[in-house]
Amino acid sequence: MSILVVGSVAFDALQTPFGKVDRCIGGSATYFSVAASFFTDVDLVAVVGEDFTDEDASVFNGRRINIEGLERVQGARTFFWSGEYGYDLNVAKTRDTQLNVFADFKPRISEKQKNPDVLFLANIDPVLQYEVLQQAGRPRLIALDTMNYWISSKHDDLERVFRAVDLVIINEAEVRQFTNEANLVKACRQILDLGPSTLVVKRGEYGVLMITKTAIFAAPAYPLENVFDPTGAGDTFAGGFLGYLASRSEIHDKELRRAIIFGSVLASFTVEKFSLDRLREISINEIHERYQDFRALTHFEDFEK
Amino acid sequence: MSILVVGSVAFDALQTPFGKVDRCIGGSATYFSVAASFFTDVDLVAVVGEDFTDEDASVFNGRRINIEGLERVQGARTFFWSGEYGYDLNVAKTRDTQLNVFADFKPRISEKQKNPDVLFLANIDPVLQYEVLQQAGRPRLIALDTMNYWISSKHDDLERVFRAVDLVIINEAEVRQFTNEANLVKACRQILDLGPSTLVVKRGEYGVLMITKTAIFAAPAYPLENVFDPTGAGDTFAGGFLGYLASRSEIHDKELRRAIIFGSVLASFTVEKFSLDRLREISINEIHERYQDFRALTHFEDFEK
């Protein structure tokens, strides 16, 4: 079982009420790959500049991550994002975005990468996401993420990709923005009507809602006393979620629900420290322990009349 | 088993994107009593004016609600609230508040009412809440609700009541406002440190978080395709929650969790129609069915390595 991810590897500058870092590793594909690699083999397709050192690349070392598809462009710089959070850690304020090598990114899927079990199109231009779909074979499961910027600037291109994937991972506000429908359940059904069988709605500190044609599943986020840096939580969630699914022989409601919890577990670790610092130090045992914590957090018993 | 509630019975004028009503019955104690009466006997202490007719009082008829404590003041009018909701149904905009009889409300607990099993102090002036505590005996469980207005205008009076109750039911934003702490879990622990053993945090469409000294329980709200009027959802939740608890011989973690779900079930019905219209037509069977729906909504299985 393997998973192919196409997305960004980046440098971030971050400021939160709890600290500040001028250059740390970030990017959707980075968080995604490290999270997914706890469960399955990951093939990474992304681009970096010549400022991306071997030490930076060490985030992928010793994990089930193949970085042959990580293109290094000489004479250019890596995608850079600078963001700031106030005490309301739900809202990131972008201070600077330098696309650099990412501006001309043309993802190329090699012959070896063409038949992944699961394909994840991280948050990039929906035109590129569609081109990747044309190159890849027919994975068992295709999923994508997106963002408000593409919904407003490339709505029709995004809709074309929605029609071609099995699973959409998206923020709550983006569901409403894409459909222009205030009721979340109705809005989700509109997206499901385009083709995807499953919609996974990220609600930040309120957790996740998963909607399929026949069921709804709600999972809370893990209530943490110390949220240090929310950057990458969504991509980490997607990595844990799809990584777990890729590791299973069958994908059905029961496994989708477990996968939502594993994604939530991974995301809850990410926010405990800056960048991928926490994700890099945890073990699969700690992941399984927090899975049990989620059971305790959500369990209630049946009621006998 | 019985429950005593002290709060408001009111007339509301409501406008939502889905309709408009100029005069309907409302008030915290009204929603609370009707919801709680599905599970236990309710004693209601509140005040109305001479404009409150027998037809208005029919909302309590045929239910396990004793309205001997509903004082009628001649020559005065019932508490009136006018509110408006936009498409974001989470936020009510108050257009008008006329306290009327409520301005001089001095709750009097009769001899017969003095030893309830459970006492609920609905959202009224914390000075009055404290006076009620002085009059009542020592119920098995004392709970209170409050609002942002009292937190800013009578913080110390409110803290005094917090110190004297077992259980606080409060909105998420109010927890942060009262403690001036951004992290919700830390903020909750600060309130628990004042004395209550249990804090129930209402998060609107995101459900409920219950925090005790030893456990946290998270329950989602029921995802509805048609939310018609959110007025009274919080008081209905409190009614279902405490009504169920009052009906149980023991109050422990397992029952508290079930109670949270019953509260959430009742609240999910309330918002489906204006005022108490939906609450008035449902049966205990529909409540039990939706309890099962909550099981399906939240259930996920253990993971075997």
Which H or E run contains A120? strand A118-121
SS3 content of chain A, % helix, strand, coil (to 5): 40, 25, 35
Q: Across residues B107-119, what is the average pLDDT? A: 93
Q: Which residue has the higher pLDDT, B270 or A228?
A: B270
CA closest to B202 among chain A residues: A206
- The answer to whether B277 and B303 have CB atoms below 8 angstroms apart is no
Q: Tell me the residue length of chain B.
A: 305
Q: Is the CB of B87 less than 8 angstroms away from the CB of A227?
A: no
pLDDT at B32 over 80: yes
Q: What ipTM describes this predicted complex?
A: 0.94
- What confidence category does residue A168 fall into, taking pLDDT thresholds of 50, 70 and 90? very high
- What confidence category does residue B304 fall into, taking pLDDT thresholds of 50, 70 and 90? confident
Interface residue B220 vs chain A (CB under 8 A): yes
Q: Across residues B34-61, what is the average pLDDT? A: 97
| Per-chain mean pLDDT for chain B | 95
Structure confidence at residue B89 (pLDDT): 79
Q: Is the CB of B185 less than 8 angstroms away from the CB of A224?
A: yes
Q: Is the CB of A288 less than 8 angstroms away from the CB of B295?
A: no
Of B218, B260, B301, the CB nearest to A297: B218
Structure confidence at residue A221 (pLDDT): 96
Which of B 228-257 lie inside 8 A of A, CB atoms?
Answer: 254, 257
Which H or E run contains B193? none
Q: Is the CB of A300 less than 8 angstroms away from the CB of B209?
A: no
Q: Is the CB of B301 less than 8 angstroms away from the CB of A215?
A: no
Summarised one tens digit per residue, pLDDT across range A147-157 is 999 999 999 99
Of B185, B227, B254, the CB nearest to A225: B185
The model carries a pTM of 0.96
pLDDT at A197 over 90: yes
- What confidence category does residue A279 fall into, taking pLDDT thresholds of 50, 70 and 90? very high
Q: Is the CB of A217 less than 8 angstroms away from the CB of B291?
A: no
Q: Which residue has the higher pLDDT, B103 or A196?
A: A196
Structure confidence at residue B92 (pLDDT): 84
Structure confidence at residue B90 (pLDDT): 75
CA closest to B300 among chain A residues: A257
Q: Is the CB of A217 less than 8 angstroms away from the CB of B297?
A: yes
Q: Which amino acid is at A298?
A: T
Interface residue A88 vs chain B (CB under 8 A): yes
Interface residue B295 vs chain A (CB under 8 A): yes
- What confidence category does residue B86 fall into, taking pLDDT thresholds of 50, 70 and 90? confident
pLDDT at B120 over 90: yes
Structure confidence at residue A89 (pLDDT): 79
CA closest to A180 among chain B residues: B87
Cross-sheet strand order for the sheet of A80-85: A19-26, A10-16, A80-85, A92-98
Summarised one tens digit per residue, pLDDT across range B164-214 is 999 999 999 999 999 999 899 999 999 999 999 999 999 999 999 999 999
The DSSP letter of residue B39 is: T
- What confidence category does residue A293 fall into, taking pLDDT thresholds of 50, 70 and 90? very high
Looking at the complex, report in whole angstroms how far the Cα of residue B50 sits from the nearest Cα belonging to chain A: 40
pLDDT at B259 over 90: yes
Interatomic CA distance for residues A162 and A145, integer angstroms = 10
Looking at the complex, report in whole angstroms how far the Cα of residue B98 sits from the nearest Cα belonging to chain A: 31
Q: Which residues pair with A93 in a beta bridge?
A: A84
Summarised one tens digit per residue, pLDDT across range A63-110 is 999 999 999 999 999 999 999 998 777 778 899 999 999 999 999 999
Interface residue A302 vs chain B (CB under 8 A): yes
DSSP tally for chain B: helices H, then strands E: 11, 14
Summarised one tens digit per residue, pLDDT across range A30-41 is 999 999 999 999
Which H or E run contains A266? helix A253-270
Buried/exposed B237-248: b ≥16 CB within 10 Å, e otherwise? bbbbbbbbbbbb
Share of chain B above pLDDT 90, in %: 91
Question: Which residues from chain A sit within 8 angstroms of residue B255, using beta carbons?
Answer: none
